[in-house]
């Protein structure tokens, strides 16, 4: 099976059972398989504690270029069914107790009301329970979690051979643990330069400038699924991938970008792919990637949930193409956002430039988002608070103009453009901000189009690890779309 065409439904997994003669001395998995670009292994370890299993999982590695493991996190029905198939395939002579640990735990003492505070490790979000129902996926057995004996703080699957989850504290029920490796899926770089582009994950296509790849280029993809907390929307940034203590690869999603409710992060790693000019085209089809989400680029997915025509038109109800470079310090948003408004504090940004499916352009590879929409929080819906809604989108657009102006300044400082070109490019943006403040949005849009035309005529100097040509194209295209889709129609 071509791994690039894996759908997000259950992938037909190749399960391998590995005979063992002595579990205590042979640290080999008793079952293993692949699902949606990730590798999974079931280890037999009768009576192992969750903490010890977690330590062993974090020390485990997989692949020629070693990928570090972690206890499995199960965030979709398809993944749950795959892991259950893997667990139940293990030979009972080795997996002597059917229940195995995965990477869920409760961080709160919920006595006498069990069910609060359940979380996945690795910042993969909260776990829904009967007493704390959330939009995230869960599959608790009947009556679970119940914190029996006030000692059940970790998540096991397969109790008594059943398909489902249990909060566990009795180590006699534990036969082992499941390790997950977020291994990268290889993508053919040459295919990505074709007019049709290449698939990173089901529901996302990318197109790379032809001159960016060579014979020794390589692209690897890892996809992560998260469920957002609606209470975060418009209130707090969401920081992901910060469990290793290294802030240089943190993904920082600002408050105004929110999962709807699920979202995917596609991490793109490259070797010898040099995008010095031009842009990477990104197209998200959220109905394929996340079919049960609320919004596609054209609005709500399910017409039955519409409250009114305003609910259909609300520009918050749009799936977005979102992007961040690996190091948040390389994003201008990381420096500027919080100085403008706390709702913009973060490094990831929206770079959508057209709808149907969500389409946009980015300037480098790194983190790409699917399933994130603009959500300013309660009190900003178009139906009940139209003035607040308009003001927020106007403020967002002005913020994008400020970031674009900062990008022009950065191009000058980096030596990509000279001072004369810098003045030519900066002038229409500065005047656009002035007209924007006068609420002359059509004039501001026309000035952004002037900038976009001029920047397309510039021969930018190549600067290592930068692409100002692509950045100005991507940012200008997004601002134009934001005006025409989210600002001008409502003013």
Of 90, 89, 14, 106, the C-alpha closest to 46 is: 90
Q: What is the pLDDT of residue 25?
A: 38
Q: What is the pLDDT of residue 435?
A: 98
Does residue 198 have a pLDDT over 90?
yes
Q: What is the pLDDT of residue 246?
A: 75
pLDDT confidence bin for 309, thresholds 50/70/90: low
pLDDT confidence bin for 186, thresholds 50/70/90: confident
Does residue 170 have a pLDDT over 50?
yes
For position 176, which CATH number holds?
3.10.100.10
Is there a single domain that holds both residue 104 and residue 228? no
Is there a single domain that holds both residue 176 and residue 191? no
Rounded Cα distance, 239 and 261, in Å: 16
Is there a single domain that holds both residue 119 and residue 211? no
Is there a single domain that holds both residue 486 and residue 370? yes
Is there a single domain that holds both residue 247 and residue 173? no
Is there a single domain that holds both residue 253 and residue 281? yes
Q: What is the pLDDT of residue 356?
A: 85
Q: What is the pLDDT of residue 165?
A: 98
- pLDDT tens-digit map of 142-162: 999 999 988 999 999 999 999
Q: What are the contacts of 104-112 at 24+ separation with CB within 8 A?
A: 104/73, 104/74, 104/154, 104/155, 104/165, 105/50, 105/153, 105/154, 105/155, 106/145, 106/147, 106/153, 106/154, 106/167, 110/147, 111/147, 111/150
Number of neighbouring beta carbons within 10 Å of residue 107: 11
- Sheet strand arrangement including 218-227: 185-187, 218-227, 257-271, 367-374, 319-324, 349-350
Whether 42 and 101 have beta carbons less than 8 Å apart is answered as no
Q: Give the domain-ending residue among 181, 213, 229.
A: 181
Does residue 380 have a pLDDT over 60?
yes
- pLDDT tens-digit map of 431-462: 999 999 999 999 999 999 999 999 999 999 99
Six token digits for residue 457 = 């005529």
Is there a single domain that holds both residue 461 and residue 355? yes
Is there a single domain that holds both residue 158 and residue 213? no
Spatial neighbors of 383 by CB under 8 A, at least 6 apart, are 307, 308, 310, 311, 314
Does residue 202 have a pLDDT over 50?
yes
Q: What is the pLDDT of residue 177?
A: 98
Does residue 306 have a pLDDT over 80?
no
Q: What is the pLDDT of residue 21?
A: 34
- The predicted model gives 268-295 an average pLDDT of 92
Q: What is the pLDDT of residue 455?
A: 97
Does residue 37 have a pLDDT over 50?
yes
Is there a single domain that holds both residue 278 and residue 170? no
Q: Give the domain-ending residue among 158, 181, 204.
A: 181
- Total domains, the chain: 2
- In degrees, rounded to 5, the angle at the alpha carbon of residue 39 between the alpha carbons of residues 138 and 29 is 100
Is there a single domain that holds both residue 173 and residue 126? yes
**Whole-model pTM?**
0.80
Is there a single domain that holds both residue 189 and residue 216? yes
Q: What is the DSSP letter of 245?
A: S
Number of neighbouring beta carbons within 10 Å of residue 3: 15
Does residue 114 have a pLDDT over 80?
no
Q: What are the contacts of 425-431 at 24+ separation with CB within 8 A?
A: 425/451, 425/454, 425/455, 425/458, 425/472, 428/454, 429/401, 429/404, 429/405, 430/405
DSSP per-residue letters across 414-459: TTSS-HHHHHHHHHHHHHHHHHHHTT-HHHHHHHHHHHHHHHHT--
Q: Give the domain-ending residue among 165, 181, 197.
A: 181
Q: What is the pLDDT of residue 300?
A: 84
Domain membership of residue 73 as a residue range: 3-181
Is there a single domain that holds both residue 225 and residue 315? yes
Of 326, 278, 282, the C-alpha closest to 468 is: 278
Q: What is the pLDDT of residue 5?
A: 33
Q: Kindly provide the b/e burial profile for residues 438-462, where b requires at least 16 CB atoms within 10 angstroms of the residue's own CB.
A: eeebeebbebbbbbbebbeebebbe
Of 62 and 343, more confident: 343
- pLDDT tens-digit map of 46-71: 999 999 999 999 999 987 768 889 99
Least confident of 6-20, 111-125, 273-287, 297-311: 6-20
Q: What is the pLDDT of residue 308?
A: 53
């Amino acid at each position: 099976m071509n791994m690039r065409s894996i759908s997000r439904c259950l992938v037909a997994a190749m399960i391998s059972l590995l005979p063992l003669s002595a579990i205590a001395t042979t640290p080999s998995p008793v079952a293993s398989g692949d699902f949606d670009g990730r590798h999974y292994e079931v280890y037999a370890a009768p009576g192992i504690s969750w903490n010890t299993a977690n330590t062993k999982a974090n020390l485990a590695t997989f692949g020629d270029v070693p990928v570090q493991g972690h206890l499995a996190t199960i965030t979709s029905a398809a993944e749950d069914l795959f892991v259950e198939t893997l667990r139940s395939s293990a030979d009972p002579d080795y997996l002597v107790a059917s229940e195995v640990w995965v990477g869920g735990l409760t961080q709160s003492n919920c006595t006498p009301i069990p069910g609060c505070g359940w979380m996945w490790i690795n910042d993969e979000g909260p776990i829904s329970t009967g007493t704390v129902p959330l939009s995230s996926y869960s599959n608790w057995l009947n009556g679970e979690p119940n914190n029996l004996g006030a000692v059940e703080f970790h998540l096991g699957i397969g109790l008594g051979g059943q398909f489902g989850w249990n909060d566990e504290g009795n180590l006699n029920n534990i036969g082992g643990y499941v390790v997950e490796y977020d291994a990268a899926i290889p993508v053919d770089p040459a295919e990505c330069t074709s007019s049709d582009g290449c698939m990173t994950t089901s529901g996302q296509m990318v197109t790379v400038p032809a001159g960016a790849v060579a014979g020794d280029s390589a692209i690897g993809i890892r996809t992560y699924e998260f469920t957002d907390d609606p209470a975060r929307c418009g209130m707090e940034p969401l920081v992901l991938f910060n469990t290793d203590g290294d802030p240089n690869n943190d993904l920082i999603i600002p408050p105004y970008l929110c999962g709807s409710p699920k979202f995917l992060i596609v991490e793109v790693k490259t070797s010898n792919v040099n995008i010095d000019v031009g842009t990477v085209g990104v197209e998200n089809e959220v109905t394929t990637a996340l079919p049960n989400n609320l919004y596609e680029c054209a609005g709500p997915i399910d017409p039955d949930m519409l409250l009114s025509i305003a609910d259909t038109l609300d520009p918050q109800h749009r799936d977005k193409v979102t992007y961040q470079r690996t190091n948040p310090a390389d994003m201008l948003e990381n420096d500027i956002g919080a100085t403008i408004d706390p709702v913009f504090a973060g490094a990831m940004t929206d770079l959508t430039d057209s709808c149907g499916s969500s389409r946009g352009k980015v300037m480098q590879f790194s983190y790409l988002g699917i399933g994130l929409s603009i959500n300013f929080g309660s009190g900003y819906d178009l139906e009940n608070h139209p003035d607040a809604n308009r003001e927020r989108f106007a403020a967002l657009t002005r913020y994008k103009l400020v970031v674009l102006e900062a990008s022009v300044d950065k191009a000058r400082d980096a030596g990509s453009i000279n001072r004369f070109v810098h003045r030519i490019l900066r002038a229409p943006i500065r005047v656009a901000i002035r007209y924007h403040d006068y609420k002359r949005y059509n004039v501001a849009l026309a000035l952004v189009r002037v900038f976009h035309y001029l920047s397309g005529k510039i021969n930018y100097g190549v600067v290592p690890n930068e692409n100002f040509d692509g950045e100005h194209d991507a940012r200008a295209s997004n601002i134009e779309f934001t005006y025409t889709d989210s600002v001008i129609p409502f003013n």
